[in-house]
Amino acid sequence: MKRGRLPLTALRSFESAGRLLSFTEAAEELFVTQAAVSRQIRELEDSLGTRLFHRHHRRVSLTETGARLLGRLTESFDAIDEALREALTAVSRAPLVISVEPGFAACWLVSRLDGFRALQPEIDVEVLSDPRLIEFRTSRAALAIRYSVGAADWPRVEARLLVRSFGTPVLAPSLLATGPPLQRPEDLAQYTLLYEDGRQNWSAWMEAAGLPSHSMSRGPLYNDPALIVPAAVRGHGVALGDLALVSDDIAAGRLIAPFDLKVSFGGYWLVAPSLTALSPAAEAFVIWLSASLNIQNDTTAVPD
């Protein structure tokens, strides 16, 4: 008999009834009626042209053919069950793949992943560093974290704001100790400024500080905070630090924020095909991520 024509439902009913030697108990095991089990077995016997059970007054027993068939079927169903268990185990052990904005990954996420692992040791996280818009249909990622200046409006995904981005000047203590005092924003003219992906963010901060946006326009350019933050920590100049990303460096004393003024530059967003249909692993990660960022939002401040 070809596999495509195997009467699997009938075989399942027969295997259960033969193993239990009871149509009634087989019906209870399969969550169907006793009549359905009896009908399936009768149709199987008709298709085989032989009886599989001897039917007595209040019991059944297997015929010789039925006993041989039962032995092979039980082995086969046990093998299928084991294969399914192995498949489920493999799925549960597969890593949770997350596509993350490079700056957020390098400056915030990587240093905190051990905290998530301590809470969820059975979930391995694979981080893909990528700034591009994500197409989940061709990606292994279950979640993404992306930066956007304004409201997120990406096709075929749902997005939720994780944390807002605020920029303020930051520099290494060693640079401030050897350089001129930074008492007023115009004192920045005596320092090298580090620019990220153009000069527009510094221009916005200058304008908010009451300075001409073009008053300071010299200095190296970097295309990602993952590059500009280490440069600032090493004393290469003053960066317009994203407080969502440099909070650890400020808390540890690797960077100093000399001014109270901070300017909003958008935020980081959680992105998924559906935020209401996440896997258990993805849901656990989102809960941990949101809690961690809320704690940071409550504690991060620009020192006086």
Residues 99, 64, single domain; the answer is no
Residues 79 and 141 occupy one common structural domain: no
Asked whether residue 87 falls in the same domain as residue 102, the answer is: no
- The answer to whether residues 99 and 50 belong to one domain is no
Q: Are residues 213 and 266 in the same domain?
A: yes
- What distance in Å separates the CA atoms of residue 114 and residue 120, rounded to the nearest whole number? 10
DSSP state of 22: -
Between 267 and 1, residue with greater pLDDT: 267
Amino acid making up residue 227: L
Q: 214-233, pLDDT tens digit by residue?
A: 666 678 888 887 889 999 99
Which position has the token pair 């656990």?
284
Q: In whole angstroms, what is the distance from residue 174 CA to residue 166 CA?
A: 24
Q: How many domains does the chain have?
A: 2
Residue whose C-alpha is closest to residue 302's, from 231, 254, 246, 232: 246
State the pLDDT at residue 159.
93
- Using the predicted structure, report yes or no on whether residue 5 has a pLDDT greater than 80: no
Percentage above 70 pLDDT, the chain: 91
pLDDT digits (tens, 9 = 90+) for 231-264: 999 999 999 999 989 999 999 999 999 999 999 9
Burial 176-214 (b: 16+ CB within 10 A, else e): beebeebeebeebeebbbbbbeebebbbbbbeebebebe
Q: Looking at the structure, do residues 145 and 265 belong to the same domain, yes or no?
A: yes
Q: Residues 31-52: pLDDT tens digits? A: 999 999 999 999 999 999 999 9
DSSP-assigned letter for residue 279: -
